[in-house]
A and B are shown apart, each in its own frame.
Chain A
Amino acid sequence: MSTTEANPGKKYTVIGTRPIRHDGVDKVTGRAKYGGDIRLTGMLFGVMLRSPHAHANIKSIDYSAALALPGVHAVVTVDDFPDAENKIAELGEGAINLQHLRHNVLAGPKALYRGHAVAAVAADTVNIAEDACKLIKVEYEVLKPVLTAPEAMKPDAPLLHNNVYTNSLGEETKQLSNVAKHFRFEKGDLEAGFKAAKVIVEREFNTATVHQGYIEPHNGTAMWNSDGKVTVWCSTQGSFTARQQVAELCHIPVGNVKVIPMEIGGGFGGKVSVYLEPVAAILSKKTGRPVKIIMNRADCFEGTGPTPGSYIRVKMGADANGKITAAEAYMAYEAGGYPGSPIGAGAMCVFACYDVPNGKVDGFDVCVNKPHTNAYRAPGATNAAMATETVIDEICEQLKMCSMEFRLKNAAVEGTRRIDGPVYPRIGMIESVEAIKNSDHWKTPLTGKNRGRGIATGFWFNCGLKSAVTATVNFDGSVGLVEGSTDIGGSRTGIAMQFAETLGIPVDQVMPSVGDTDSVGYTDVTGGSRVTFATGWAAYEAGLDIARQMCQRAATLWEVPADQVKYENGGVSGPGGKQISFKDLVVQTCKHGEPIVGRGSADPQCPGGAFATHCVDVEVDPDTGKVTVLRYTASQDVGTAIHPAYVEGQIQGGAVQGIGWGLNEEYFYDQSGVMRNSTFLDYRMPTCLDLPMIEAIIVEVPNPGHPYGVRGVGEVPIVPPPAALANAIYNAVGVRMTQLPMSPPRVLHEILAKK
């Protein structure tokens, strides 16, 4: 088995088991309906025309010829959307200015990246719509693009916007710039900290733009009815967030929009922002027919938010005993065409694993001519960990200290204050490092030429946010559970398990489903590693609500006062040893009185941070620079593993995305800002032949901020891999990698430079 469970959760009956997911059979038989599978009577097909230029003024758009093509029903541009308010919409994991969102959905007055949508056609078939796009005449004034943060920060850099002024250290300036924001976190006395250091290491890092790479392309289908009500079917990480964005962009009340979330084929942060849904809605309004739009793969790469490339400089000092004395970071993240990169999170994460007495972090949010960046699994944290964790490896080398001991010595613990302010509650940083130290992998020596081992640690906050659940008890004692979190990886089962645990009933007696925005309470996005934590909590509350109702029924049945009965062990107990199971009580009393419906909602504030430590063995081919992963072990504090197999799956999947980020994945741009590898062949994600098994070690340090001790799990496993790989490469062939990805040409370049 790939898992060692530190605390096999003996106090629970459902939590910690591995039931088959409720939606499993539909998904292995092809019956599950994803966004692209929707078919509606009279449906039209939409296609977007996209900018061939990375940076251009749009002088005019003439679509008369397209509209005249037989089979074409409507063409829209940004002018078909009402003006948007200059306000920020919170999207759960990230926020966006609505004017920017409107212009990101359909460009105007500028195209800010290659692939930026400029118009959309609705036609009888996709082929006709594609032909029509070719007939749209767009007059561009091509401008010089700027493609990296350091370039875009230069005073003479081409400007993307004429209305973006730098917010500098909290103050709005009058400085037009590509730098939308500069902020700073400080703690202690940095200068004194570096003076006290015996060893100081400072390095610069550059990381490439990478994509979430979900296999299912973006899709959106909308029907704008004659009563002004809009129904949207889509694959989204947040049906309520999608509803809000569609309503805001179309200037209609949220109550007029119903989002029906279809099954979603991967998101990883990339399916929070809308791209197609509002356009499908406006096309539907114009045609009176449902309109469906699906992106092709190149559109996904070029037209949706990847995660930012970055420039990071990290300087750290440690004393002779290996205690960190000071740490400083300068971090510039590419926001893409519009402000709003995950620099804030990156800057908070950069030293978050350690107790840093004196620190300073400067963060910059920088517009460049690339797609507007979006969240990608622990957004911002992976770039940051690459810098910190490799600098630590170098410090340890100079101090001749085991980097494992260094991490344990400096680990953040309960009470540690991060540079950006928060003080940690009970966390499992030390436990995650110790789990690797005690692993079979760490204890097994690595031998062989050009081989090396590396470790790295990572942190992610995790989110709380709002969730809602409704439970309806059936006459046979089974329960229908409707929850608002779109389920990307089996979360409806994890939520049902917490509900079943609360009532002490078998999980196969709970039927979870994901509701649309009219049939379940407001629920924030599936992101921030929050679903099992927060929606699970809502399910726990719904279980308590039903338990209360069951107690009342038992009291009535037994003719005893309500305060003399108690819900425990899967049923109700009362005076004189009276006991009845949940199911029996339902069967006996369901015909009388009102239906039994439970509700639960949550907005929990203490998600409990997640820490992960990864260990990797690599072999580097000195002739080609190719890095082969020989063995991989990932440990993580997960609080409580609700469904251990799904927890392992999150750890394994996140680790492999991190391996892809570390070794191969990147957007290749030419000088004109055109992405040259917008296919899955050339954007090189890991295949199963590239990998060994990924050993997942589940560490359980229960989160005191959750009834079952849950911490978010999904995101942090992507954070350590690039740094762990870089440290392993150094130990294999003696070169320090400071650029991501560490693809064969880059590694070979360093090997040759060393010679």
Chain B
Amino acid sequence: MAKKRIVSTTINGTQKDFLCEPRQTLLEVLRDSLDMTGTKEGCSNGNCGACTVHLDGRPVVSCLVLAVEADGATVETIEGVACNGQLHPLQDSFLNNAALQCGICTPGFIMQAKSLLAENPNPSEHDIRFYLAGNLCRCTGYDKIVRAVQDAAGKMSGCCSEAKV
């Protein structure tokens, strides 16, 4: 077994150091070592998007990122999206638009959609569908997810810029 490495990160705004094997993925460490099971595992080969997190502000599928690559980086996960018990507008709009059924893909969709709205606060339907195409949902047929993102975009465009990212 390869020697374990120390990795220093900032996860959801908190300094977090952990030990991991070089072969471990960020997804594995988040779920199994740090007990942050909000990030979901659907395929472990980058095809479904359920494990999407932000690494230095960029959306990544955490099953394709080695945990050691997160050294010195900031990581944001679904657990950090709601702030002080206040849901993010995307979380609110997913609930209000019934945009989830089983809910297993929801954390990944919210992380990906959050990136989209940070890049493009007024996306068209096509923009949304294009940006979310790497996230699979098997329950909803995507209709209500797309509407939820449109709804959140509309609500966030009136907010302070902090709420957008």
Which A residues between 1 and 48 are near B, CB-CB below 8 angstroms? 2, 18, 20-21, 23-25, 27-34, 36-37, 39
Which single residue of chain A is at the shortest CB-CB distance from B98?
A: A645
A753 adjacent to chain B (CB < 8 Å): no
A226 to chain B, nearest CB (A): 27
Query: Among B36, B100, B105, which residue has the most Cβ atoms of chain A within 10 A?
Result: B100
A649 touches B139 (CB 8 A): yes
B138 touches A268 (CB 8 A): yes
Which B residues between 125 and 143 are near A, CB-CB below 8 angstroms? 125, 128-130, 132-143
B146 adjacent to chain A (CB < 8 Å): yes
A653 touches B136 (CB 8 A): no
Chain B residues, CB < 8 A from A36: 31, 37, 40-41
A296 touches B44 (CB 8 A): yes
Chain A residues, CB < 8 A from B87: 25, 28-29
* Partner pick for B38 among A31, A268, A489, A654, CB 8 A cutoff: A31
B139 touches A688 (CB 8 A): no
B42 touches A216 (CB 8 A): yes
Chain A residues, CB < 8 A from B146: 688, 693
A266 touches B138 (CB 8 A): yes
Which single residue of chain B is at the shortest CB-CB distance from A33?
A: B37
Main SS class of interface, B: loop
Chain A residues, CB < 8 A from B147: 693
Q: How far is the CA of A30 from the CA of B103 in the complex (A)?
A: 9
Q: How far is the CA of A25 from the CA of B86 in the complex (A)?
A: 11
Query: Among B31, B41, B94, B96, which residue has the most Cβ atoms of chain A within 10 A?
Result: B41
A70 to chain B, nearest CB (A): 10
Question: Interface segment, B64-72, B76-84, B157-165?
Answer: B76-84
A687 touches B136 (CB 8 A): yes
B116 to chain A, nearest CB (A): 12
B43 touches A653 (CB 8 A): no
B145 adjacent to chain A (CB < 8 Å): yes
Chain A residues, CB < 8 A from B118: none
Which single residue of chain A is at the shortest CB-CB distance from B43?
A: A297
B109 to chain A, nearest CB (A): 9
A649 touches B101 (CB 8 A): yes
Main SS class of interface, A: loop
Q: How far is the CA of A39 from the CA of B35 in the complex (A)?
A: 9
B41 touches A691 (CB 8 A): no
Which single residue of chain B is at the shortest CB-CB distance from A45?
A: B32
B104 touches A646 (CB 8 A): no
A699 to chain B, nearest CB (A): 18
B79 touches A217 (CB 8 A): no
* Partner pick for B138 among A24, A27, A213, A294, CB 8 A cutoff: A213
A685 adjacent to chain B (CB < 8 Å): yes
* Partner pick for B140 among A21, A296, A649, CB 8 A cutoff: A649
A395 to chain B, nearest CB (A): 30
B100 touches A28 (CB 8 A): yes
* Partner pick for A27 among B82, B96, B106, B125, CB 8 A cutoff: B106
Chain A residues, CB < 8 A from B47: 297, 679-681
Q: How far is the CA of A20 from the CA of B100 in the complex (A)?
A: 11
A263 adjacent to chain B (CB < 8 Å): yes
A337 to chain B, nearest CB (A): 24
Chain A residues, CB < 8 A from B143: 2, 648, 652, 691, 693-694
Given contact pairs A28-B87, A30-B38, A30-B77, A656 touches B141 in the complex (Cβ within 8 A): yes
* Partner pick for B102 among A2, A216, A217, CB 8 A cutoff: A216
Query: Among A30, A36, A212, A263, which residue has the most Cβ atoms of chain B within 10 A?
Result: A30
* Partner pick for B141 among A29, A39, A215, A691, CB 8 A cutoff: A691
A264 adjacent to chain B (CB < 8 Å): yes
* Partner pick for A25 among B95, B102, B107, B140, CB 8 A cutoff: B95
Chain A residues, CB < 8 A from B45: 297, 679-681
* Partner pick for A28 among B43, B94, B125, B142, CB 8 A cutoff: B94
A691 touches B50 (CB 8 A): no
B48 adjacent to chain A (CB < 8 Å): yes
B87 to chain A, nearest CB (A): 7
Given contact pairs A652-B141, A680-B47, A680-B136, A29 touches B78 in the complex (Cβ within 8 A): yes
B133 to chain A, nearest CB (A): 4
B42 touches A688 (CB 8 A): no
B20 adjacent to chain A (CB < 8 Å): no
Q: How far is the CA of A649 from the CA of B39 in the complex (A)?
A: 24
Chain B residues, CB < 8 A from A656: 140-142
* Partner pick for B95 among A20, A213, A679, CB 8 A cutoff: A20
A653 touches B141 (CB 8 A): yes
Q: How far is the CA of A685 from the CA of B42 in the complex (A)?
A: 14
How many residues on B have C-beta within 8 angstroms of the other chain's C-beta atoms?
A: 57
B110 adjacent to chain A (CB < 8 Å): yes
B110 touches A28 (CB 8 A): yes
A375 to chain B, nearest CB (A): 15
Given contact pairs A28-B110, A265-B102, A297 touches B138 in the complex (Cβ within 8 A): no
* Partner pick for B106 among A2, A28, A39, A212, CB 8 A cutoff: A28
B93 to chain A, nearest CB (A): 10
Chain A residues, CB < 8 A from B132: 687-689
A266 touches B139 (CB 8 A): yes
Chain A residues, CB < 8 A from B42: 215-217, 265, 297, 680
B104 touches A490 (CB 8 A): no
B91 adjacent to chain A (CB < 8 Å): yes
* Partner pick for B104 among A266, A649, A687, CB 8 A cutoff: A266
Chain A residues, CB < 8 A from B104: 34, 214-216, 265-266
Chain B residues, CB < 8 A from A645: 97-98, 144
A728 adjacent to chain B (CB < 8 Å): no
A28 touches B129 (CB 8 A): no
A265 touches B40 (CB 8 A): yes
A190 adjacent to chain B (CB < 8 Å): no
A217 touches B41 (CB 8 A): yes
Chain A residues, CB < 8 A from B140: 649, 652-653, 656
The interface bits of chain B over 11-27 (1 if a CB of A lies within 8 angstroms of the residue's CB, else 0) are 00000000000010000
Given contact pairs A653-B139, A693-B143, A214 touches B133 in the complex (Cβ within 8 A): no
A30 touches B43 (CB 8 A): no
Q: How far is the CA of A2 from the CA of B129 in the complex (A)?
A: 18
B138 touches A687 (CB 8 A): no
Chain B residues, CB < 8 A from A490: 98, 101
Q: How far is the CA of A656 from the CA of B82 in the complex (A)?
A: 31
A693 to chain B, nearest CB (A): 5
A679 touches B138 (CB 8 A): no
A655 adjacent to chain B (CB < 8 Å): yes
Chain A residues, CB < 8 A from B81: 29
Q: How far is the CA of A654 from the CA of B95 in the complex (A)?
A: 20
Which single residue of chain B is at the shortest CB-CB distance from A266?
A: B102
Query: Among B23, B81, B132, B143, which residue has the most Cβ atoms of chain A within 10 A?
Result: B143
Chain B residues, CB < 8 A from A265: 40, 42, 102-105
A685 to chain B, nearest CB (A): 6
Given contact pairs A656-B142, A688-B145, A649 touches B43 in the complex (Cβ within 8 A): no
Which A residues between 628 and 653 are near B, CB-CB below 8 angstroms? 645-646, 648-649, 652-653
* Partner pick for A215 among B48, B77, B125, B134, CB 8 A cutoff: B48
Q: How far is the CA of A691 from the CA of B145 in the complex (A)?
A: 12
Given contact pairs A649-B98, A653-B140, A297 touches B44 in the complex (Cβ within 8 A): yes
A488 touches B138 (CB 8 A): no
Q: How far is the CA of A649 from the CA of B143 in the complex (A)?
A: 8
A657 adjacent to chain B (CB < 8 Å): yes
Show 30 A/B contacts (Cβ-Cβ < 8 Å), sorted by A: A20-B95, A25-B87, A28-B94, A29-B78, A30-B77, A213-B138, A214-B104, A215-B104, A265-B40, A265-B104, A268-B138, A296-B43, A297-B44, A297-B48, A489-B139, A490-B98, A490-B101, A645-B98, A648-B143, A648-B144, A649-B139, A652-B140, A654-B141, A656-B140, A657-B138, A657-B141, A680-B43, A688-B145, A691-B129, A691-B141
List 16 extra interface pairs beyond A36-B37, A266-B102, A652-B141, CB under 8 A.
Answer: A24-B95, A30-B37, A30-B78, A212-B138, A214-B138, A265-B102, A265-B104, A489-B101, A490-B98, A645-B144, A648-B98, A657-B138, A679-B47, A680-B47, A687-B135, A688-B128
Closest 3 CB pairs of A and B: A30-B38, A265-B104, A656-B141
